[in-house]
Amino acid sequence: MKILFFGDIVGKLGRKALAMVITEARESVRPDAIIVNGENLAHGMGITRKTLAEILELNIDVVTSGNHISDKDEFTAILTERESRVIRPANYPPGVPGSGVCTIPVGSRNLTVINLMGRIFMSEHLDCPFRTLDTLLQSPEVKQSNAIIVDFHAEATSEKTALGWYADGRVSAILGTHTHVPTADARVLTEGTAYVSDVGMAGGRDGVIGVERQGPLKGFLTQLSTKFEVLESGVAQVNAVLIDIDPESRHATAIQRFDREVSIV
Q: Which residues have a catalytic role annotated?
A: 68
Strands 173-177 and 194-196: parallel
Annotated binding residue at 39?
yes
39, 46, 172: which is closest to 103 by C-alpha? 172
Annotated binding residue at 8?
yes
Amino acid at 7: G
CB-based contacts of 41, cutoff 8 Å, min separation 6: 9, 11, 14, 15, 47, 48, 51, 52, 54, 55
Bridge partners, 64 (sequence order): 37
Annotated binding residue at 40?
yes
Annotated binding residue at 67?
yes
Report the distance separating Cα 83 and Cα 72, nearest Å: 18
Annotated binding residue at 59?
no
Report the distance separating Cα 194 and Cα 47, nearest Å: 28
Residue numbers in the known binding site for Fe cation are 8, 39-40, 67, 153, 178, 180
As annotated, the binding site includes 8, 39-40, 67, 153, 178, 180
